[in-house]
Amino acid sequence: MKKIIFLWLISLLSLHADLDAELVQEQHQQTSKAITIIFDDSGSMKDRQKMKQAKKAFYAWLKAQSDQDRFSLIHFEKGGRILVPLGKNTKDLVLKAVEKLRPRYNTPIANCIKIAAEQIAERRQQVAPYERHIVVVFTDGAETQSKLGNRAVVNAIRQVVASGNGIEVVGIGFHGEGDYMAKAATSFYTADNAEQLRDSLEKVSAEVPSDLEFDLSPKEAELMKTMDFQSAAQEAHKSLETHIQKEEALEEEDGKSGFPWVLIILVFVFFRVASLFSKKK
């Protein structure tokens, strides 16, 4: 009889521990940190090894972040495009995506901020209303798509911050650019190299408030009862693989188109040298 009671107590304790673990996991899922990165891969990032510096800083910073946090990556292709959607298990996907970025586009910052806000609003409504959201706007230049120029960026940031959804917008200006964001962003930092950029990114992580409050509508409260925490990693992986294949195809095409020019230059140099030698004789 004592043995039966002992086994019953062990089973009860085990069940209690499992329930506690599930509650902790559910609580973390609802209050985790979600960071949307708007990454500048415009043509100006080719200059002064800026892209190389940026990749180094973002890699080091992302590696140090919790695997439990959610990440998303938006870049400048086609006026702004979500490369990795917000979701669980997306940190490594963002790391991989950043490594594959190439500086080749215009600078549609305002539209990227709009895309980020729409993604967050959809996620809050459908998946996780209590997540802490940060939008990191990293750029080395000015808005080039909107006719309003940098004013469009300032307006977009102000609209997101004032939305009442507890979204922080952190601006990071690179190599002396982007200071116009300071007028509206929750926080603004500058960086002139990889080390300074990583320091700025560390501040992004450190300054997330722990006392954010969210006003849920009756519709959002009702949706909480049927919340689905399925990972977006599969969708993000498919999107990323498509992008990587496209980038690799472009690199291969660039390599092929560059070869005849190299050959022509070599032939020209050969005949030039031969001509000089013949004149000396």
φ/ψ of residue 36, rounded to 5: -100, 120
User: Largest Cα–Cα distance in the chain?
Assistant: 114
pLDDT tens profile 241-268:
555 556 555 555 555 554 555 556 666 6
Domain coordinates in residue numbering, the chain: 27-244
Question: Under a CB-based contact definition with an 8 Å cutoff, are residues 67 and 32 in contact?
Answer: no
What's the mean pLDDT in 69-80?
96
pLDDT tens digit sequence for 93-127 = 999 999 999 999 999 999 999 999 999 999 888 77
For β-strands 81-84 and 70-75, DSSP reports them as antiparallel
| 64 against 8, higher pLDDT | 64
pLDDT reading at 5 higher than 70 = no
- Which residues are CB-contacts of 54 (< 8 A; sequence separation ≥ 6)? 39, 40, 45, 138, 174, 194, 197
pLDDT digits (tens, 9 = 90+) for 131-171: 889 999 999 999 999 999 999 999 999 999 998 778 999 99
- More confidently predicted of 214 and 82: 82
Distance (Å, whole) CA 51 – CA 203: 21
In this prediction, residues 42-54 reach a mean pLDDT of 95
CA distance 69 to 46: 31
CATH of domain 27-244: 3.40.50.410
> For residues 269 and 112, what is the distance between their CA atoms, to the nearest angstrom?
47
Distance CA 276, CA 28 (A): 75
| Long-range interactions of 65-70: CB distance < 8 A, separation 24+ | 65/35, 65/91, 65/205, 66/33, 67/91, 68/28, 68/32, 69/32, 69/33, 69/34, 69/35, 70/32, 70/33, 70/34, 70/35, 70/131
